[in-house]
Amino acid sequence: MNVAIAGAGLVGRVLALKLLKKGGYNINLYDSDTAYGEEAAGITAAGMLAVFAELESAESIIFDIGQESIALWPSILEQLDILDSFQHEGSIITAHPQDVSELDHFIESLQSKVEEASKIKMLNREEIIALEPDLDQHSKGFYLPHEGQVDAQVFMKTSSDYLLAHPNVVWLEEKGVDSLEEGTITIGSEKHHYDWVFDCRGLGSQVEMPNLRGVRGEVFWLEAPEVKITRPTRMLHPRYKIYIVPRPNDRYIIGATEIESEDKSPMSVRSSLELLSAVYSMHTGFAEARIVNMTTNCRPAFKDNLPKIEHGDKITRINGLYRHGYLMAPAIVEQALNEGIYK
């Protein structure tokens, strides 16, 4: 089958990899970005597989989809020969002493949504240190054993190399799609016909999916040789919930902000101050960290913040993964394929 995928961000790449692994498909990839996804939300992301932590502000279906995706990620990464970019050693949730009530609220919220959360126990200082010695200044927290991360930047770079070199893929870089219809992609006055087309353009699909909105996210990349945190770690606070995600070579992705805006301009002074002061209060070793990069991007979301799959004759639309891209993409793509082109 000749297939077109409009939008080569995270979802488009996972989709292409799944089709190539199954075999029997020639794929044209269309994207207004370069092949290395310099503007994609998937390259800005921390890649957290926070199947429990995200439940505090999400529906329980996110937990089910997330568990499916965590089980699917190893085979996707093995296909790219980057299985070592998958970490599944759990995550830590903690808070300052004055904010310990936030921990109680957090676990109560999780336990009200999924039965599995009832097994999560509060850690004392010694138990936290046993898992993460560098968090010795924290006296209470939770260990979420089923969580982890995908190195998003490694995935994006390696998937680009793999797809660009694949004989069954034609990647049309910086080729924005104007519209998609059943089996047809339109660019300007030109129409291109396929056996099946997929719309994975994120916010680029707002004309066809008018309820789609952008949610801004902001992250810092810090180089901090004095910090030795090995797992994704979150600190709860009444106003923000900062996350710290380790990367190789003493680097950490720091994020928290979620702003109802489609603005991709540089980070504000307020966001910068809040993030940096929070990460310093989390671990004083960040005081001498170097700011390597600061990035912003927008994630596509619907009103209920849940993903949506729409099928027509020779067309499938996948969108609205919100802030759960890496947590949901493999399972959502699998569902879309089973309901659509595989059916």
Residue 259 has pLDDT above 90, yes or no: no
Instruction: Give the residue among 255, 231, 47 at the shortest CA–CA distance from 145.
Output: 231
Q: What does residue 8 show for φ and ψ, rounded to 5 degrees?
A: -110, 40
Tell me the average pLDDT of the chain.
95
Give the number of other Cβ atoms within 10 Å of residue 321's Cβ.
28
Cβ proximity of 195 and 314 under 8 Å: yes
Q: Terminus-to-terminus CA distance in the chain, angstroms? A: 14
Find the length of the chain. 343
Pairing of strands 140-144, 251-259: unpaired
**pLDDT tens readout for residues 270-314:** 889 989 999 998 999 999 999 999 999 999 999 999 999 999 999
How far apart (Å, rounded) are the C-alpha atoms in residues 180 and 175? 14
Cβ proximity of 4 and 185 under 8 Å: yes
Q: Is 297 helix (H, G, I), strand (E, B) or coil?
A: strand
Spell out the residues 6+ positions from residue 189 whose beta carbon is closer than 8 angstroms to its own.
Answer: none
**pLDDT tens readout for residues 192-210:** 999 999 999 999 999 999 9
Residue 36 has pLDDT above 90, yes or no: yes
pLDDT band at 57 (very low <50, low <70, confident <90, very high): confident
Give the number of other Cβ atoms within 10 Å of residue 158's Cβ.
18
Give the number of other Cβ atoms within 10 Å of residue 75's Cβ.
13
Least confident of 120-124, 128-132, 152-156: 120-124
pLDDT at residue 61, rounded to an integer: 94
Q: Is 51 helix (H, G, I), strand (E, B) or coil?
A: coil
How far apart (Å, rounded) are the C-alpha atoms in residues 39 and 92? 30
pLDDT at residue 179, rounded to an integer: 93
Burial 19-34 (b: 16+ CB within 10 A, else e): bbeeeebbbbbbbebe
Q: What does residue 162 show for φ and ψ, rounded to 5 degrees?
A: -65, -50
Q: State the DSSP code for 256.
A: E
Residue 257 has pLDDT above 70, yes or no: no
**Paired tokens of 174:** 């910086």
How far apart (Å, rounded) are the C-alpha atoms in residues 219 and 253? 7
With both helix axes pointing from N to C terminus, report the angle between 61-79 and 10-22 in degrees, rounded to the nearest 10.
Answer: 60
How far apart (Å, rounded) are the C-alpha atoms in residues 70 and 324? 12
**pLDDT tens readout for residues 217-255:** 999 999 999 999 999 999 998 777 899 999 999 999 999
Q: Kindly report whether the global pTM for this prediction surpasses the value 0.85.
A: yes
Q: Is 94 helix (H, G, I), strand (E, B) or coil?
A: strand
pLDDT at residue 239, rounded to an integer: 78
How far apart (Å, rounded) are the C-alpha atoms in residues 177 and 154? 27
Chain center to CA of 181: 28
**Paired tokens of 74:** 């190893």
pLDDT at residue 58, rounded to an integer: 85
